[in-house]
Amino acid sequence: MFKEVYDDNSIPMDVFRFHTISQIQAKESGEIVDMVGIIFQSSNPNEITARNGDKVFRKNLTLYDASLQVIDITLWGQSCKVNFEKNKMIIFKNLKVGQYLGKKCLVSISRTVVITKDFPMHVKEVREIAELLEEKSTRQEVEKKNNQRYLLLDLINMQPNLRKSERHYFEVTASIIHIQSDSLSTFYYLSCPRDNCLKKVVDISVDCWKCLNCHEITRTPKPRYTLNMMISDFSGSLWVNAFDSIGESILGHPASHLKHLRESERDDDKQELMRIMKNPTSKEFNMRLMMKHEEYKGREEWKGSILKISPLEYQDEAKKALQLLGSLELQ
């Protein structure tokens, strides 16, 4: 004999294990987390070709929470079809922790669930975000906190207090003053042509190279940038490195083209090489720098590398300055 049992609506159907952005920063890549936050930025979905040849949709979001920190989320496939609006609360269940350019990020997976309405207000973390959404000045505070840029002199003065065992990341605005390209400088290296390797190769015979990593033998090594340059702002200057894709963004040409110009005997090619190398100098860029401590032959030093670079858009910078001035309250 069967007895009908009614559902107990007081029992939550979904179980969430929410993590704040601060907690996510301490997570290892690959861990799965739930998150509730407010949409700070949302890009349009774009179709890309995956490595297996399939066409997939990708969309990027930026969220913030009560800590006023932001985190980037990359959505794939069906998750991109959800309507995301700025300044709206959203819940994600089952996001994978990743890392890009030294920053922790989140990525959707096949079992990711997106909730944009009917929020479980009985959950403490959800109520806190709902209350945060009511505060009109929150978005301006998030913009101020997460658009912090450092002077180069700040980076130099901070070095004695930085942890040597860690990598440190900074946003700066600076000009490129000089790129080493004389006859004694090596601004590219020959690398393994395999996409999953790209390590340095050494010549073992005429027109034949061997990869030091995967031991591949090749007759067509790929030139890759390893630029050494001085950047400067009004506070000071700093020597930094820029590797292949960043070097191509700065110079506007692949390393193979500059290798050809450098090896050419023609005067026109030599002048063209000088023109390309000088073209980005004295121009301002927004940069994301990574600083790490190295020891070589008993000498210790901090080395900087450019992870991301974009030309300074003066119109956008003026808008940001106006927004910042508008958010300041007169004392």
Instruction: Assess whether 178 and 95 both reside in one domain.
Output: no
Q: Is residue 144 part of a domain?
A: no
Return the higher-pLDDT residue of 181 and 70. Answer: 70
Calculate ∠ Cα 91-95-101, nearest 5°: 115
232 pLDDT more than 60: yes
pLDDT at residue 49, as a whole number: 76
Q: Are residues 51 and 123 in the same domain?
A: yes
Neighbours of 109 (CB within 10 A): 13
Last residue of a domain, one of 109, 135, 161: 135
Strands 217-218 and 32-42: unpaired
The model's confidence at residue 46, banded by pLDDT at 50, 70 and 90, is confident
Location of structure tokens 């930094």 = 240
φ, ψ dihedrals at 133, nearest 5°: -65, -25
| pLDDT above 80 (res 263) | yes
pLDDT of residue 75: 92
Same domain, 55 and 111: yes
Is 327's pLDDT higher than 80?
no
pLDDT value, residue 175: 95
Averaged over 207-215, what is the pLDDT? 90
Domain boundary among 91, 109, 135: 135
Same domain, yes or no: 157 and 129: no
Question: Do residue 96 and residue 232 come from a single domain?
Answer: no
pLDDT over 50 at 330, yes or no: no
Dihedral (CA of 133, 136, 139, 144) sign: negative
Average pLDDT over residues 166-186: 84
Asked whether residue 157 falls in the same domain as residue 265, the answer is yes
- Residue 331 confidence class, pLDDT cut points 50, 70, 90: very low
Are residue 34 and residue 67 in the same domain, yes or no? yes
Based on the fold, state whether residues 72 and 162 are members of the same structural domain: no
> Would residue 13 count as lying in a domain?
no
More confident residue, 43 or 306: 306
The verdict on residue 10 lying in a domain is no
pLDDT given for residue 105 in this prediction: 92
* b/e 207-241 (16+ beta carbons within 10 angstroms → b): eebbbeeeebebeebbbbbbbebbbebeeebbebb
**CATH number of the domain to which 306 belongs:** 2.40.50.140
Answer whether residue 84 is part of any domain: yes
User: Span 167-185, mean pLDDT?
Assistant: 85
pLDDT of residue 43: 83
177 dihedral zone (left: phi>0; alpha: psi -120 to 50; beta): alpha
What mean pLDDT is predicted for residues 171-188? 85
The total of structural domains in the chain comes to 2
Nearest Cα neighbor of 174 from 306, 292, 17 is 306
- Same-domain status, 171 and 267: yes
Residue 4 lies in a domain: no
Give the whole-number percent of the chain exceeding pLDDT 90.
41
**Closest residue by Cα to residue 289 from 159, 111, 132, 94:** 159
pLDDT in the model for residue 309? 92
Alpha carbons within 13 angstroms on the beta-carbon side of residue 131 total 8
Mean per-residue pLDDT for 148-157? 88
Q: What is the mean pLDDT of the chain?
A: 86
Q: Kindly state whether residue 103 falls inside one of the protein's structural domains.
A: yes
Position 87 in a domain: yes
* 119 and 163 together in one domain: no
The residue with greater pLDDT, 248 or 327, is 248
The predicted structure's pLDDT at residue 257: 94
Residue range 261-285: average pLDDT?
Answer: 92
Specify whether 120 is located in the same domain as 228.
Answer: no
More confident residue, 42 or 49: 42
Identify the band that residue 68 occupies on the pLDDT scale cut at 50, 70 and 90: confident
**Which 3-state string (H, E, C) describes 245-270?**
HHHHHHHCCCHHHHHHHHHCCCHHHH
Indicate if 87 and 160 belong to the same structural domain. no
Among 103, 135, 167, the domain-final residue is: 135
Label residue 25 by pLDDT band (50, 70, 90).
confident
Residue type present at position 131: E
Lowest mean pLDDT among 191-200, 207-216, 242-251: 191-200
Residue 143 has a pLDDT of 72
pLDDT > 70 fraction of the chain, expressed in percent and rounded: 89
262 domain residue, yes or no: yes
Average pLDDT over residues 7-21: 71
Query: Predicted confidence band at 323 (pLDDT cuts at 50, 70, 90)?
Result: low
Q: Strand 46-49 to strand 32-42: parallel, antiparallel, or no bridges (unpaired)?
A: unpaired
For the chain, where are the E strands, in sequence order? 32-42, 46-49, 55-64, 70-76, 89-100, 103-115, 168-179, 188-191, 201-205, 208-211, 217-218, 222-233, 236-243, 284-296, 299-311
Q: What is the mean pLDDT of residues 189-194?
A: 90
Q: Which residue range forms the structural domain that includes residue 102?
A: 21-135
